[in-house]
Structure 1
Amino acid sequence: MPVSPPPLKGLPLNALRAFEAAARLGGFAAAATELGVTAGAITAHVKTLEEALGAPLFERHARGVRLTALGQRVLPDFVEAFDRLGLAVQTLRAEAAPRQVHIATLPAIAQLWLSPRLPAIRAAAPEIAVSITAMEAPPDLKRAPFDLNLFFREDNLGRLVSADEIFPVCAPQLAADLVHPRDLAQVPCLSDAVWADDWQLWAEVAAPGWSFAPRGPVFSLYALAVEETVNGAGVLVGHEPLVAQQLATGALVAPFGARRRLRRTLRLWSARPLRPGSAAARVADWLSA
């Protein structure tokens, strides 16, 4: 009589994913943010996995968690496995929807640099649908479902799209009273919460030795700060790629000649090679031209 033993029960994929994310990112809260679940869900998944294995993967402490020796040994294999899975999923998405392109970028880049270029892309290739997701930091493209990444970077990853030079900009009606950088002390100076050191970086080249402390509103959205500058609310440090359109139309002017080129540049990249002639490759060519 043939023997049919019950199949060996596998480990739950969601639990393995929770372990890998928590181990790679160094905590349950960070893993929850990446996976879009609660920290309690990560805790439950990891506990289920540890119970199934009969061995702990993390040491719990008052300040967080730390991998056990077992967890440290197996983590590299799981990182590689989920990286490969993520890339395979991206390939599947691209093959299933070859005319859709998903771009991840900063909110300011999305609104001020990318959005004005979309009509030309639609006119040149109406069959391509471009989706944009604005986020404050680049995603892990090996895991996230994006075809292209467009962010400021200080390395040479991907394609150079534009240099980043900074200099004060304002509405034309304010420029007449701005002759010397020290005249900025008499007008509101708008700031961006993320690029909080812009004014000091520019002042170092415009007036060396001048300790300038801007007085004026602070915005968490750079695009909103640009809009308020156009409205005459004050002077803002402009990032050349992001204010080029307003300068071209005359909505903004640069009252001073001094500029500072930053180390970072606007760069476009993908986690996997773009197939020549594909929708993503065509969009990348347009954006980096």
Structure 2
Amino acid sequence: MALDRSRLPLHALRAFEAAARHRNLVRAAEELGVTHGAVSHQIRALEEALKTQLFDRRHRPISLTTSGEQLLSAVDSAFDRLSRAAGALRAGELEGEITISCVPGLASNWLVPKLGEFLVAHSSIAVHVVTEYWQHPTIADQCDLAIAYGSAEHPGKRVVLLGHSAFFPVCSPTLLAGCAPLQAPEDIADHTLLHEYSDETWSRWFVAAGLKNILARRQVYFDGAHLSLQAARSGYGLAMGDIPTVGDDLIAGSLVQPFTLSVPAAYPYYLIAPPKAEQSAPGRALEEWLIEKFKEITKLLIP
């Protein structure tokens, strides 16, 4: 059973740690700037509080009992954590762990490639990234942060609008160099369509292009944009992308946009976060960084 924190003899634990490390009470006293008697008194008070002997004093240098070894392991770990946290604060760094949930397409095509910048700036923060299908969220509300596409209904959480995007066809440049032309939207019928979950986005794009009942040569369905876009990069066909997921590809030339026509996304991207009073400092830092990164592409998104 854990001891009440208010009853933890912190000064005695510090004296115990120093004596255990030096295996000598005099050296421990010199390090702590107190007398040998004060260190001895603190350790005996600690042993009385714990109702166990921590040192075997029959020989010199003194040695730890089994109970003392067990306590030293715990005290060393706790002091190490305190030391790292204090050092990080003095250096202006943040320390801790964050779990962020994100829809798979955005996670693999935008979050993960960008996340390295945050990790370099905050080397003492550990980040766990998990993904989940946007129509069936199960863990977003259990994470420190979540980037969601779709519903803004998250009771007890703060919901921040990141941006409302637009989708357009993309393909590998090798596809444009093939034998089947892609000069007009109707030419898509001669190629393979790569779908994310369903044909809903493609259908809306065809309507916007003034095309009805178009039948592509082949339809391939994937369980997420991270897969459909990878298939497009590999030259399998045309997929739907938006600036957050394919912006870097368009810059690098791994994907091209054969037509300028786009259709608004069915839903916005949201950031789901706990109330500010309950949010950790690392979580707040990651939230601010994510919002800033989305601002960088805001000018390319539909308002």
TM-score normalised by the chain length of structure 1: 0.60
Residue of structure 1 in register with 2:182 after alignment: 178
Percent identity between the aligned chains?
25
Q: Distance in 1 between matches of 2:108 and 2:225?
A: 9
Residue of structure 2 in register with 1:138 after alignment: 137
> Is the 1:104–1:138 contact (alpha carbons within 8 Å) kept by the matching residues of 2?
no
User: In the alignment, residue 161 of structure 1 is paired with which amino acid?
Assistant: L
> Is the 2:101–2:140 contact (alpha carbons within 8 Å) kept by the matching residues of 1?
no
Equivalent residues, number: 189
Deviation at 1:258, TM superposition (A): 0.6
**1:155-234 pair list within 5 angstroms:** 155=152, 158-175=159-176, 177-192=181-196, 194-207=197-210, 209-214=211-216, 215-234=218-237
* Cα RMSD after superposing both structures: 2.3
> Is the 1:274–1:280 contact (alpha carbons within 8 Å) kept by the matching residues of 2?
no
1:248 to 247, 251, 258: 251
CA separation of 1:276 and 1:140: change in aligned 2, threshold 3 A: closer
SS in 2 for 1:264: coil
TM-score normalised by the chain length of structure 2: 0.57
Deviation at 1:225, TM superposition (A): 1.6
Render the CA deviation track for 1:65-107: whole Å, top value 9, x for unaligned.
xxxxxxxxxxxxxxxxxxxxxxxxxxxxxxxx96111111112
Deviation at 1:263, TM superposition (A): 3.8
Render the CA deviation track for 1:213-236: whole Å, top value 9, x for unaligned.
442322223212211111111111
Q: Distance in 2 between matches of 1:140 and 1:118?
A: 20
Deviation at 1:277, TM superposition (A): 7.6
> Is the 1:171–1:232 contact (alpha carbons within 8 Å) kept by the matching residues of 2?
yes
Q: Distance in 2 between matches of 1:234 and 1:274?
A: 48
SS in 2 for 1:119: helix
Residue of structure 2 in register with 1:269 after alignment: 272
Q: Distance in 1 between matches of 2:151 and 2:137?
A: 13
Q: Does 1:111 align with 2:105?
A: no
**1:37-186 pair list within 5 angstroms:** 99-136=96-133, 137-139=136-138, 144=142, 146-153=143-150, 155=152, 158-175=159-176, 177-186=181-190
SS in 1 for 2:108: helix
> Is the 2:161–2:269 contact (alpha carbons within 8 Å) kept by the matching residues of 1?
yes
SS in 2 for 1:191: strand
Deviation at 1:276, TM superposition (A): 7.6
Q: Distance in 2 between matches of 1:112 and 1:141?
A: 19
Deviation at 1:239, TM superposition (A): 2.8
Render the CA deviation track for 1:222-275: whole Å, top value 9, x for unaligned.
212211111111111113321112112110010011111124111111133266
Larger Rg: 2
CA separation of 1:262 and 1:141: change in aligned 2, threshold 3 A: closer
> Is the 2:160–2:270 contact (alpha carbons within 8 Å) kept by the matching residues of 1?
yes
CA separation of 1:225 and 1:153: change in aligned 2, threshold 3 A: same
CA separation of 1:275 and 1:200: change in aligned 2, threshold 3 A: same
> Is the 1:141–1:271 contact (alpha carbons within 8 Å) kept by the matching residues of 2?
no
Residue of structure 1 in register with 2:79 after alignment: none
CA separation of 1:276 and 1:102: change in aligned 2, threshold 3 A: closer
